[in-house]
Amino acid sequence: MSSDQTTRYATSFSASTVALHAGRPRGQGQALVSGIAQSTTFHQEQVGEKVDYAYSRVSNPSVTELEVALGELEEALPAVTFSTGLAAETALFFALLEGGGAGDHVVVGQAVYGGTIRLVQQVLSKLGITHTFVDSTDTLEVARAITKNTKLVFIESPANPLLVLTDIAAVAKVCKAAGVPLAVDNTFLTPVLQRPLDLGADISVYSTTKHIEGHSSALGGAIVSRDEKFIERLKFIRKSTGGIQTPFNAWLTAKGLRTLPLRLKHQSNNALVVARWLKSHEGVATVNYPGLESFPQRELARKQHIGNYHGGVISFELRGGVPAAKVFLRSLQLCSLVEHIGGIETLITHPATMTHGDVPKAQREAFGISDGLVRISVGIEDTSEIIGDLERAIDAAIAETDGVEGVEEVEVVAVARG
């Protein structure tokens, strides 16, 4: 099963149909759902012939099925998939940045996944790759940060965890003019709700661990592009550093992808209901959600996101600050306190101690991530039941912390965190 033996849907079908059918081999007697190619290696008839599959660190039929589907969803080349989102980012940086004597430089949006900040700040910098964090909502700031050594601009929109948007088309123009590729971490919306390549970006980056797999069962990452030379270079890096997706996780991720459009639209609808309810609650100080009328970048959200859907992730702050947030988080009975987004269940995270726990406090605060901020990834439960759980927990927080302003510091415990 090579990619050219599969039916191509992308140009004539909607995202729902492409997600459901793309990448699946068809034909007489072909299983509707492919088996898992759980094999490290593949027979070869003779030496010296080019084969699609020889060794699963380079390529594997189950991995290909996922890659073709992800690529077609974005009208791009087959994706290059990895064992995790951060393995994908690492390979992306290795493919475009040389460091050492070359002194390569990367411009990174300051509002990105905490693990991305750690990778750039604590790993790449050791290899001689320099970086500048920018407020990517300010296109001029991005333009000013680009130097003659800049080899990549990396942004995330909507960004973790404040849901701040970057005008991808505007930043893409700046990058094109400077001759620097633009990569967009599109994990929160996926190609179903936002298409960075159509907006002028060169590379889409995914943690498939989140909405794409969608069932909290398999880690994974993917890079999508229409640039053949870049994709070849990325595959070379993957083969050389060994970060490819596993066959079983590729199979699970492909299964998740089939219902991605259905889930994401439903979760967007649920998130809007929950965000509006939070906004109306007197115990809630701020709510960040691009679907709200009060969202400061409402116009950009409408322009950039497909179908006026804005994803399943909301963040908010309780009036009682950190003490209230602590009571709230331990009072939840239905929503799960986990370090995750994009599953089918409603998932709640405390960014200051979880996703951004390795980002220094001063830097977190400069980026607007207060210790009292709570992130919620809305699932597919009935919204009245999600709201019922939130209401109970907020009421408990108000009852316990009434009148106490949020001054207490959270203790950031150095445990294993993503």
Ligand X SMILES: *Cc1c(COP(=O)(O)O)cnc(C)c1O
The alpha carbon of residue 179 and the mean position of all alpha carbons in its chain are separated, in whole angstroms, by: 25
Distance of closest approach, residue 299 Cβ to ligand X, in angstroms: 23
Distance of closest approach, residue 293 Cβ to ligand X, in angstroms: 25
Distance of closest approach, residue 216 Cβ to ligand X, in angstroms: 12
CA angle 273, 188, 310 (to 5 degrees): 35
CA distance 6 to 83: 24
Binding residues among 316-345 for ligand X as defined by CB under 6 A: 341
Distance of closest approach, residue 314 Cβ to ligand X, in angstroms: 14
DSSP state, residue 246: P
Give the Cβ contact number of residue 255 at 10 Å. Answer: 17
* 156 forms part of the interface with ligand X (CB under 6 A): yes
H helices within 179-297, ranges in order?
A: 190-193, 228-241, 247-258, 260-280
CA angle 391, 397, 402 (to 5 degrees): 125
* 64 forms part of the interface with ligand X (CB under 6 A): no
Q: In 167-202, where do the E strands start and end?
A: 182-185
* 291 forms part of the interface with ligand X (CB under 6 A): no
Site size toward ligand X, by CB under 6 A: 16
What number of residues does the chain have? 418
| Closest by Cα among 13, 29, 379, 226 to 21 | 13
The single residue among 23, 71, 78, 85 that binds ligand X, judged by CB under 6 A, is 85
Give the Cβ contact number of residue 142 at 10 Å. Answer: 26
Q: Verify cis geometry, omega within 30 degrees of 0, for the bond prior to 158.
A: yes
**Among 8, 52, 57, 138, which one carries the catalytic annotation?**
57
Pairing, β 203-207 against β 182-185: parallel
What are residue 164's DSSP bridge partners? Answer: 159
Q: Say whether 104 is catalytic.
A: no
Distance of closest approach, residue 415 Cβ to ligand X, in angstroms: 16
Token match 């007697």: residue?
29
Distance of closest approach, residue 122 Cβ to ligand X, in angstroms: 15
Q: Are 287 and 133 in contact (CB under 8 A)?
A: no
Q: Which two tokens stand for residue 288?
A: 């960040």
The single residue among 37, 86, 223, 378 that binds ligand X, judged by CB under 6 A, is 86
Q: Which two tokens stand for residue 25?
A: 């081999």
Distance of closest approach, residue 120 Cβ to ligand X, in angstroms: 12
**Among 24, 195, 210, 375, which one carries the catalytic annotation?**
210
Q: Say whether 185 is catalytic.
A: yes
* 245 forms part of the interface with ligand X (CB under 6 A): no
Binding mask 186-225 for ligand X (x = CB under 6 A): -x-------------------x-xx--------x-x----
**Among 104, 135, 185, 371, which one carries the catalytic annotation?**
185
The single residue among 65, 67, 72, 185 that binds ligand X, judged by CB under 6 A, is 185
Q: Which two tokens stand for residue 192?
A: 């179903």
* 110 forms part of the interface with ligand X (CB under 6 A): no
Question: Which one of 18-26, 81-89, 245-253, 363-371 is the stretch in contact with ligand X (CB under 6 A)?
Answer: 81-89
Question: Which one of 49-57, 82-90, 360-368, 407-415 is the stretch in contact with ligand X (CB under 6 A)?
Answer: 82-90
* 375 forms part of the interface with ligand X (CB under 6 A): no
* 267 forms part of the interface with ligand X (CB under 6 A): no
Q: Which residue is nearest to ligand X (CB)?
A: 85
3-state helix, strand, coil in the chain (%, to 5): 40, 15, 45
Q: Are 206 and 187 in contact (CB under 8 A)?
A: yes
Q: Say whether 57 is catalytic.
A: yes
Q: In Å, what is the CA distance from 203 to each residue of 9, 14, 105?
A: 21, 21, 17
**Among 9, 113, 289, 309, which one carries the catalytic annotation?**
113
Question: Which one of 79-87, 120-128, 317-325, 326-334 is the stretch in contact with ligand X (CB under 6 A)?
Answer: 79-87
| Closest by Cα among 137, 139, 120, 141 to 129 | 120
Distance of closest approach, residue 224 Cβ to ligand X, in angstroms: 14
Binding residues among 112-141 for ligand X as defined by CB under 6 A: 113, 115
Question: Which one of 80-88, 288-296, 320-328, 345-353 is the stretch in contact with ligand X (CB under 6 A)?
Answer: 80-88
Q: Which residues bind ligand X (CB under 6 A)?
A: 84-86, 113, 115, 156, 160, 185, 187, 207, 209-210, 219, 221, 341, 418
**What positions carry a catalytic annotation?**
57, 113, 185, 210
